[in-house]
Structure 1
Amino acid sequence: MTHTPKWNTTDIPDQTGRTAIVTGANSGLGIATVEALARAGAHVVLAVRDLKRGESAAATVRGARGTVEVRRLDLADLASVRAFAAAWQDPVDLLINNAGVMNIPESRTKDGFEMQFGTNHLGHFALTNLLLPHLTDRVVTVASGAHRLPGNHIHFDDLNLTGAYRPVTAYSQSKLANLLFTLELQRRLAATGSPVRALAAHPGWAATNLQGADASVLRRAVMLVGNRLIAQDNKAGALPTLYAATQDLPGASYVGPDGLGEMRGAPTLVGRTAAASDPASARRLWQASEELTGVTFPSPSGREVTEGAR
């Protein structure tokens, strides 16, 4: 029996005249998000590391009322993040922090950060803050049910997990960071009276190429079976992101599938762990992220400000 979602892309409000930036947009959840927003009338920017792949992905978006364009962005290189933001001059309604890497072998970003934490969290942290002066509506960051893994926490004394790297530990830490980032971003936006909202979403179990780079042969085999028997396709997996991006929801909302174990189903508001709801940890992570990236929360005037200047 085919599962028919209670909410799907036909329920997206008209996006004509709106601009969205989607990171990691050349495949998987990203391209599904791009296509749905463009079909609803938005102008969508595919922010991708590989321009050739991005252009190929953009060419698959057909029958859209909106438009698409491709710009280069490497979240594992803060210079690239700064260049992308510096080149942006126009208002942007939606920033969708979708890109990510999962359970990969140990490696480092251009700036020396553990790759999963550096890409999934720090790159998006820097990008969001640099683009905030242009944002008019909301930021949606794609998290994961992996934030719920037992014992998962932010390793504040060793964010790079130096000498203690485990792929799953690093991934689950980065996804917990996504939720804490959303929590603290929303607090700061509300404190400054900004109309911009910060939300998060997770796709459940979606069959994408994200799992193909897993460092474990056993996990790759399990994922392959699960993708065939349990997972949603990328279009269904993108629905929570699209719901968070287009529905009137409170800031700091977290959206995921409504099915068993939040693995599949229609998008709905879901809960998060106590560790992902801790405002003290969220503030501590924010301060650490500012120190690591050199990027700070912008003042209402649009200038970056330091923690001590607030």
Structure 2
Amino acid sequence: MIPTMVGGVTRADSVWDVHRLPRADDRTFLVTGGNAGIGYFVAEQLAGTGAEVVLGSRDPAKARAAMAAIRAQVPDARLRHLPLDLADLPRTTGWPDRLDAVVLNAGVLLDDPRRREIPDGHELMFATNHLGHFGLTALLAPVLTPDARIVTTGSFTAKSEHLDFADLESTRDYRPKPAYARSKLAQMLTGFELDRRLRAAGSAVRSVVTHPGGALDGLTPARPAVHAGRSARTLPAALLLHGKHAGAWTSVRAVLDPTVEGGDLWGPRFLGFRGRPHRERVRGPLADLDAAARLWAISAELTGTDPDFPAQTGAPR
């Protein structure tokens, strides 16, 4: 369902306020990479709804710092840490008993010109950003509620990339920024393919893809021990970009807004770079159904997993 247009703005957009989020007291959400960057602000904003928020993070000290920062903003926040290394999922323990949403947010962006690999030989960014979340989705399937949401945080940089299936992990022509963009494209394609598979299976779980636009550290409010705060040197960038707190809005809306549909793409309103979240058209490389299906098969082979969500009889869609 596409909400009715009113003066160029959808009716759903006209009533959605990023600063007045609906309550979610009886729900539990997992945010991967919830200890820093956009993931931190996703966790902070979701904590303000009364939900229990699970921060997936490799580093216990950083997770503790993030939880302290969130409680400084939301004194009654219900938080816990899930030790989570997307490059080493088999060692993860302490999975939640139930989840109403998972935000697949954690990501690695390298600027080192040297190609780096994790111990099993996969390129680091492709392994963490894409393969790790693919495997995690399979592991979480049994604990997701019947109408849960799986929210994939992509990147607007992915829109101008294409996957090279002869060299998915950039072994021949490694450049950090294109390799990152391709890893995010892989992640986003998988989010769309996942929703198609959920629908085919008759499942009520929804897969939604988002991107934060242009989210800069220098436009982000301070959070002691997590983020230093705004820089006057980047103020001119505010005309086109926004901070990481605003970059979190698309994922938060995808988790909470009942009008969000499976298979949606949500990004910032102003040219896809800044502003409040709105639904975008899925087009270009993101709409390549053949590439998405082919990538799914390869990812299942590389990870030894295949996310499987059985149909929920009578569940809402």
1:257-290 CA-to-partner distances (Å, cap 9, x unmatched) read 001x211011000124322111111110000001
Residue 107 of structure 2 corresponds to which residue in structure 1?
100
- Kept in 2: contact 1:82–1:127 (CA 8 A): no
Query: Aligned equivalents of 1:11 and 1:180: distance in 2?
Result: 31
Matched, 1:130 2:122: no
Q: Is the 8 A contact 1:254 1:270 kept in 2?
A: yes
The 8 Å contact of residues 48 and 71 in structure 1, kept in 2 or not, is answered as yes
SS in 2 for 1:236: helix
> Which residue of structure 1 lines up, in the alignment, with residue 262 of structure 2?
251
Q: Partner of 2:216: helix, strand, or coil?
A: coil
Residue number in structure 1 paired with 2:182: 173
CA positional deviation for 1:83: 3.5
- Rounded to whole Å, the distance in 1 between the matches of 2:27 and 2:303 is 29
Moved more, 139-148 or 101-110: 101-110
What is the TM-score of this pair, normalised by structure 2?
A: 0.82
Give, in whole Å, the separation in 1 of the partners of 2:166 and 2:209.
Answer: 26
SS in 2 for 1:265: strand
Structure 2 partner of 1:214:
none
Q: Is the 8 A contact 1:26 1:46 kept in 2?
A: yes
User: Could you say which structure has the higher strand fraction?
Assistant: 2
SS of alignment partner, residue 70 of structure 2: coil
Structure 1 letter corresponding to 2:292: A
| Distance in 2 between residues matched to 1:227 and 1:297, nearest whole Å | 43
2:223 counterpart residue number: none
Structure 2 match to 1:294: 304
Q: CA deviation at 1:92?
A: 0.4
Q: What SS does the corresponding residue of 1:175 show, helix, strand or coil?
A: helix
1:1-310 to 2 correspondences below 5 Å = 7-62=16-71, 63-77=74-88, 81-84=89-92, 87-88=94-95, 90-105=97-112, 106-136=115-145, 137-149=148-160, 152-208=161-217, 229-230=237-238, 231-248=241-258, 249-259=260-270, 261-298=271-308, 300=310
What are the Cα deviations for residues 41-76 of structure 1, in whole angstroms up to 9, with x where unaligned?
010111001111111111111234440011211112
C-alpha displacement of 1:8: 4.0
Partners of 2:282 and 2:153 in 1: how far apart?
13
Identity %: 39
CA distance in 1, matches of 2:82, 2:155: 26
Structure 2 gap ranges (5+): 1-12, 219-231, 313-317
Gapped regions of structure 1 (runs ≥ 5): 210-223, 303-310
Q: Deviations over 1:68-124 (max 9, x none)?
A: 0112111122xxx2343x532511001000111124322112321111111111110
* TM-score for the superposition, normalised by structure 1: 0.83
